[in-house]
Structure 1
Amino acid sequence: MKKLIVIVLVMTASFFSLSCKAQVEKTLEPKLENISWISGDWKGEAFGGQVEENWSKPSGGSMMATFKLINNNAVSFYEIEIIREVENTLILQLKHFNNDLKGWETKDETVDFPLKEITANKVTFEGMSFEKISDHEMNVYVDIHQKNGSIETVKFNYTK
């Protein structure tokens, strides 16, 4: 009877170990085709208003996006974003603009987010990540640096 219990425990432990390993997502190569699911016209709510983010399909070694926030039927700000392949990795870069297209950053300055990891349903950059929920839903998480030095992570839930 003790041998049977030991065998059952060993088999259970082996099964548990295998199922845990299967749940760990495989890291994918830093290629645009591995994140092409981001492309599309996305809409959601954030910062007390409506947000739109429109991502192109990969072409020419990059993907590009426009973003706008609308509060009280007026644009609060815009962003232009790109994800591009650089030296066997990806980088996300963006620039912010007021509603009159006057830039927040200087002419040659960008806000850069180096790639950390890509899996089948998530791409993580330093300070921003995209999570695929379904073919028509994704979450974007952005770390926003506060004036007091703390970091607040804002979640954007988008649908298309």
Structure 2
Amino acid sequence: MTYAILALALMVQSAEAEPVDAGILEQLAWMEGCWRADGFAGEMSECWMRTQSGELVGAFQYSAQGTLQFTEMLMIGTNAEGEFGYHVKHFNRDFTGWESQNEQVTFDYRQISETRIEFRGLVLEFDGPHAFTARLDMRQRDGSLTTEVFEFSRISP
């Protein structure tokens, strides 16, 4: 009974909450749909859709030599800790997770313009209705930082 009351209270609280960053999310309508790019000696694709409450959620897959290597669940929105950003959960091919159950990789929001959104370590730049560029900072084993660039093209609206 206590759990049911707590669950109901959380649902009511969630339903009443206005998305804090709704304006930012509205500017990302261009991301909705499916995209593909080459990179890391393979190919990747991702699909984004908008939730009823305004967040963007997506699924990502990376394949090399015709074999799925890993997937990601994605969200641009506010996580359970109240952090607005680009949130990622990674999964192996067998769907075992890289992060623990309550952890995720978060790229903190920095700024947005009409054609570009910047997160700490990740920049997405709209290149027109059928293309966008992703720039991902990656820490190397020796501690150095490199930036990988991925040119995505739209495969479906």
If the TM-score is normalised by the length of the shorter chain, which range does it land in? 0.7 to 0.9
Once the two structures are superposed, residues 55-113 of structure 1 have per-residue CA deviations (whole angstroms, 9 ceiling, x without a partner) of: 11353131111111111111011011100147998311101111111111111111011
How do 1:1-160 and structure 2 match up within 5 A? 31-57=24-50, 59-85=52-78, 90-160=84-154
Distance in 2, Cα, partners of 1:88 & 1:107: 17
Retained in 2: the 8 A contact 1:77–1:97? Answer: yes
Unpaired runs of at least 5, structure 1: 1-28
Rg larger in 1 or in 2?
Answer: 1
Unpaired runs of at least 5, structure 2: 1-21
Distance change (3 Å), C-alpha of 1:85 and 1:105: closer
Instruction: List 4+ stretches of structure 1 deviating above 6 A.
Output: 86-89
Retained in 2: the 8 A contact 1:30–1:118? Answer: no
Q: Which amino acid aligns with 2:90?
A: H
Retained in 2: the 8 A contact 1:32–1:85? Answer: no
Q: How many residues align structurally?
A: 132
TM-score (norm 1): 0.76
**What percentage of aligned pairs have identical amino acids?**
28
Question: Offset at 1:155?
Answer: 0.8
TM-score (norm 2): 0.78
